[in-house]
Structure 1
Amino acid sequence: MPKRDIVDIYRDQNISKSTIYRTIKECQEGILCVNLPKSGRPRVLNQLRQGRLIQAAKHKIGISQRKLAGRFNVGKATVFRTLSSDNIVFRKRRKAPKYTEAQLERIPRCCRTLRRVHFVNKLIVMDDEKYFTLSDSKMKGNDGFYTDDDQNVPDDVRFKSKKKFEDKILVWCAISEAGFIAQP
């Protein structure tokens, strides 16, 4: 392709003529084809320390960017940039009830028994309860984790287990054909 046609194509894309001619000259001399060392400020973290930083954050609970910055002797922005370049993002832990394996196996069987045995020709009562905790048991420091793939995180990291029955106040409400009742 003639040089003039190349210049016309790139000039239509608002690139200056001097840049176009300089780039064509560098390509002809083979300067662009050689992997030249990069100039500018060197990275704070080399590849080894960068890998260690990623492993220190990935799938761990209670890790913050501030703590990682102090541990690796770099700034918080460096930690953020390193984790973001590897698609590692902060996620909140979700709450899940703490069931044993035996309890999980009993749940479907008990529900079937309730429906089959106890709800035949019976009056159905709808009820709802709300528990209010007496103490603030939620700590902000350990409510998240860093990951690049939310599907491959172990369950003990992804979910925050809690006791099913903590010290709470129960407010209960029931509705049936016979009437309405509420008890604190």
Structure 2
Amino acid sequence: MTRINREHMQKRILQHYINITNKQNQITVKHFLQEKAPRQTIYSIINKYEDSGYVGDKPRSAGISLRRLAPQFKVSYQTISNHLKPMGTHYYKKQRAPKYTDQQLQEIPTHARRLYRILSNNDFELLMHDKKYFLLRDQFVPTNRGLCTSDKRTTPPQIKF
């Protein structure tokens, strides 16, 4: 189902749920089951509305540098920066998440010795190469390596790292 169709379905279900059935789940579900809508979808839309008061897809945003943003507003990047400072919004470089815990670091030599013993006792041939593979995700694109926030301590880890 495309995003437009999904949003249209969500609006229809909510309109029926709020305006026609006066927030009665069962009547709304029966109505849309006759239209071949999945039961779970109907209930999840209603539950999401009851929990948050909002159903549509949340707006998606990507980080953008001030130098790229400034021409859209026909001002210099310094002007935007000067307006962000009083709001307490600062740019921070994203931190790298730790690759290993302390316990994992202690276990590495043990596991490496065990693997070496297993491979050296049999007729295995170990091949190694120095190729590195990477994806063009957010953290690999230089302009997306930062975040803007007024309080770095309250920033969620999935954004901070």
Mark yes or no: TM-score above 0.5.
no
Q: Quick check: which one's strand share is greater?
A: 1
